[in-house]
């Protein structure tokens, strides 16, 4: 019997994942913190490089709060509240989704957020400034809108923001526009921002824009291409981090029917969606094109797809949440490993990747729910605190820390 290539690949990846997970896992435990604090749908935690070591927590419902160092506290003051200007059709994936502090935040007080608005449906990237009279309160009147990104639907908006530690540019992760099956076919179109990683210069301006275009962006000067594009071919990236030690840009991308994937983002890279899912051709592409009355055709000549460095099948999870490469000291067994998780099943892993060999050496389960239908945590974000230690944000309002056993 001749098995379909898709099935062979699925079995191969599943077997490989099981083999890698069988190795000795780091000795880690999940501990609840801020148990006395009421938190609503936390999605991001950011520590600005201003020397204050403050933890800023982003709630999808529209607030940014400052988490005190005392993890037994019942109070966390509000830094910024945008519920009055945010618009949400469905709060599952829309809302306040991203935060990044300017590299010179200590002196200029500027920070950037990504949030949803309606009429028309769009994602907004804005600059704000801290209040001149109080370093723990933002000035809500200081908003300067940089970009407004059309969103066809309420899902797959993405929203991760981060500054490059070397270039100082702002990276913006944008989903494919929603629904399913890549129906809008935007990630492969260089005329649209959806399904992309964008890169802009917030310190300058280019003609007709509230920001500058870095001169080395890969599509500068390319006719009909959006010059903001840094990489493309993404579905719903969730969890972005640039490792300061290696410079590698880690980005998790939520899959659809078969696989969840982890990518290393390169300038000008094409990561395959909506033509591929994981390592294979997306099985739904042919039926979609047929339903739209379009002939199925191969990618344009010369198209090169960059493979994810790791995938896991939907038997192991259904919605990846990316994290970061651990560089802390409290959990030595995690040193140099990429910590990530699955939102649906609540599993957490530590991926051991060799940058020189460009290969995965191991993928260790470090936390797994006894009952996947009732996970201890549904990780909406995995971030480093001021000491580089792992904090896991539970979408249902719980916050955890990874500690050594």
Chain mean pLDDT for the chain: 93
- CB atoms near residue 357 (< 10 Å): 8
Give strand pairing partners of 354: 359
Cα–Cα dist 367/369, whole Å: 7
User: Which residues on adjacent β-strands are paired with residue 399?
Assistant: 33, 393
Note whether residue 374 is domain-resident.
no
Q: Specify if 383 maps to a domain.
A: no
CATH number of the CATH domain containing 275: 2.120.10.30
For the chain, the domain total comes to 1
Burial of 375 (0-12, 13-18, 19+ CB in 10 A): buried
Of 221, 265, 215, 218, which is closest to residue 239 (Cα–Cα)?
Answer: 265
Give yes or no for residue 13 having a pLDDT over 60.
Answer: no
Domain that holds residue 257: 40-340
The pLDDT of residue 294 is 83
Contacts of 264 (CB under 8 A, 6+ apart): 248, 249, 250, 251, 306, 309
On whether residue 273 sits in a domain, the answer given is yes
Structure confidence at residue 104 (pLDDT): 98
* pLDDT for position 23: 55
Identify the band that residue 18 occupies on the pLDDT scale cut at 50, 70 and 90. very low
Per-residue model confidence as pLDDT tens digits over 215-256: 999 999 999 999 999 999 999 999 999 999 999 999 999 999
Q: Is 70 exceeded by the pLDDT of residue 7?
A: no
79 in a domain, yes or no?
yes
Is residue 400, in this structure, part of any structural domain at all?
A: no
What confidence tier does 299 reach under pLDDT thresholds 50, 70, 90?
A: confident
Could you report the per-residue pLDDT of 77-127, keeping only the tens digit for each? 999 999 999 999 999 999 999 999 999 999 999 999 999 999 999 999 999
For residue 62, is it within any domain? yes
3: confidence class by pLDDT, cuts 50, 70, 90 = very low
């Amino acid at each position: 019997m001749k098995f379909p290539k898709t099935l062979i690949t699925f079995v191969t990846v599943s077997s490989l994942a099981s083999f890698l997970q069988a190795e000795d896992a780091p000795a880690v435990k999940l501990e609840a913190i801020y148990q006395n604090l009421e938190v609503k749908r936390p999605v991001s935690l950011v520590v600005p490089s201003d020397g204050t070591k403050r933890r800023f927590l982003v709630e999808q419902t529209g607030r940014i709060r400052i988490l005190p160092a005392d993890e037994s506290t019942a109070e966390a003051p509000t830094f910024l509240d945008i519920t009055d200007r945010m618009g949400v059709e469905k709060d599952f994936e829309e809302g306040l989704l991203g935060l990044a502090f300017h590299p010179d935040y200590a002196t200029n007080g500027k920070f950037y957020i990504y949030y949803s608005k309606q009429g028309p449906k769009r994602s907004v990237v804005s600059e704000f400034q801290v209040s001149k009279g109080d370093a723990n309160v933002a000035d809500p009147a200081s908003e300067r809108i940089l970009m407004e990104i059309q969103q066809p639907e309420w899902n797959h908006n993405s929203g991760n923001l981060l500054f490059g530690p070397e270039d100082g540019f702002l990276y913006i992760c944008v989903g494919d526009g929603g629904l399913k099956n890549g129906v809008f076919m935007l990630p492969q179109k260089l005329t649209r921002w959806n399904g992309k990683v964008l890169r802009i210069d917030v310190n300058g301006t280019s003609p007709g824009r509230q920001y500058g275009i870095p001169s080395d962006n890969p599509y500068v000067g390319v006719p009909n291409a959006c010059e903001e594009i840094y990489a493309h071919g993404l579905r719903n990236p969730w969890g972005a981090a640039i490792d300061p030690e290696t410079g590698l840009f880690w980005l998790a991308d939520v899959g659809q029917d078969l696989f969840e994937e982890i990518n290393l983002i390169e300038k000008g890279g094409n990561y395959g969606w909506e033509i591929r899912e994981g390592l294979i051709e997306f099985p739904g592409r042919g039926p979609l094109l047929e339903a739209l009355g379009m002939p199925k055709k191969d990618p344009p000549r010369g198209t090169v797809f960059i493979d994810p460095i790791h995938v896991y099948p939907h038997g192991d999870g259904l919605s990846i949440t990316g994290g970061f490469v651990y560089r802390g000291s409290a959990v030595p067994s995690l040193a140099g490993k990429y910590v990530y998780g699955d939102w649906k099943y609540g599993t957490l892993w530590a991926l051991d990747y060799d940058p020189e060999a460009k290969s995965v050496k191991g993928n260790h389960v470090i936390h797994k729910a006894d009952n996947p239908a009732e996970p201890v945590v549904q990780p909406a974000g995995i971030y480093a605190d001021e000491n580089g230690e792992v904090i896991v944000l539970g979408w249902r309002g719980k916050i955890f820390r990874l500690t050594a056993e």
